[in-house]
Amino acid sequence: MLTLDLTGKRALVAGVADDGGFGFAIAKALIEAGATVCVATWPPALNIFLNLLERGKMDESRKLKDGTLLNFEKIYPLDAVFDTLEDAPQELRESKRYKDVGDFSIAGLAARVQADFGAQPLDILVHSLANGPEVKKPLMETSRAGYLAAVSASAYSLVSMVRHFGPLMRRGGSVASLTYMASERAIPGYGGGMSSAKAALESDTRVLAFEAGRKYGIRINTVSAGPYASRAASAIGIIDNMVKYCQTNTPLPEVLEAVEVGHATAFLCSPLASGITGATVYVDKGYHSMGMAVDGATVPTFGA
């Protein structure tokens, strides 16, 4: 029987702050496949995340197929806007939510992982990070600062993470990120430069796949997931409408589940996908393949 086996592999999933998003679903899928998983969490959400875990508030979602509860090998702080701790403003470093977490930069996280596990401890790196402070604004009303912030947090962070973690990954390892259809089609209401950030992320995936493939022997892919009403996605403001629209207009008229993105990402990070790199893989119930909306009048109904 062909199985997805990640036994003996170690993964780092960056961007897990609760049990309701793609990051958690990916981490859980990797653990189900046998990997050990560390996660990195945005410092302002870190204490809340730890408290929810300690108080058992996530126990239901932590249940694995064998009835046990998943556990993360390590939980680290990460603000992926900063390559080094020195890049962060002093007032931020001294603020209540940051001052006691240590080095929360990308370089700091890489140093912590290496200190905890040795020279080349990673097989899998997952970038589940995105932020656009002006995402509710139309692109034409987005400030330069807001636009650049979206690209920095959502796209350049992948470049920086591959630069810092590539040397820590074993040959044959895999990097995966999450993108969205707005990278290639206009999605009214998904603004603030986030569409540009996702386009950059996909372009960078192809270039990084070549550069890091030649230098470190690792694969890099991105998963274009359909809209999903996670807590983080609520910041968009129209996420419920996006979900309903896609449910109506996809070849499979169903709501996308986070576990489906988790399973697809786990596959991409496994030896079963050893020939796949530089790819954008769609996990959106087929929405990307549609060229016309389904309105019930012009589209025939097909059935058994």
pLDDT in tens, 35-64: 999 999 999 999 999 999 999 999 999 999
Number of structural domains the chain divides into? 1
What is the rounded CA–CA span in Å between residue 154 and residue 205?
12
Q: Is residue 93 assigned to a domain?
A: yes
Q: Is residue 5 assigned to a domain?
A: no
pLDDT in tens, 138-176: 999 999 999 999 999 999 999 999 999 999 999 999 999
User: What size, in residues, is the chain?
Assistant: 304
Residue 304 has pLDDT above 70, yes or no: no
Domain extent at residue 56: 10-284
For position 298, what pLDDT does the model report?
Answer: 52
Q: Is residue 35 assigned to a domain?
A: yes
Q: Is residue 297 assigned to a domain?
A: no
What's the mean pLDDT when you consider all of the chain? 93
What is the rounded CA–CA span in Å between residue 158 and residue 11?
16
Residue 203 has a CB neighbour count (10 Å cut-off) of 13
Find the DSSP H helices in the chain: 22-32, 43-54, 59-62, 90-93, 106-117, 144-151, 157-165, 194-216, 239-249, 258-268
Q: Is residue 19 assigned to a domain?
A: yes
What is the rounded CA–CA span in Å between residue 77 and residue 103?
8
Q: Does residue 180 have an active-site annotation?
A: yes
Q: Write the CATH number for 105.
A: 3.40.50.720
117-135 mean pLDDT: 96
Enter the tokens of residue 97: 């939510």
Known binding-site positions for NAD(+): 15, 129, 198
Please, which residues have CB within 8 angstroms of residue 302's CB and are 6 or more apart in sequence? none
Residue 275 has pLDDT above 60, yes or no: yes
Q: Is residue 296 assigned to a domain?
A: no
For 279, left (φ over 0), alpha (ψ -120 to 50), or beta?
A: beta
Catalytic residue among 98, 147, 156, 190: 190
For position 2, what pLDDT does the model report?
Answer: 85
pLDDT in tens, 192-245: 999 999 999 999 999 999 999 999 999 999 999 988 776 676 677 677 888 888
Q: Does residue 156 have an active-site annotation?
A: no
Known binding-site positions: 15, 129, 198
Catalytic residue among 98, 156, 180, 287: 180
57-79 mean pLDDT: 96
Residue 295 has pLDDT above 90, yes or no: no
Q: Is residue 200 assigned to a domain?
A: yes
Report the predicted TM-score, pTM, of the whole model to 2 decimal places: 0.93
Q: Is residue 3 assigned to a domain?
A: no
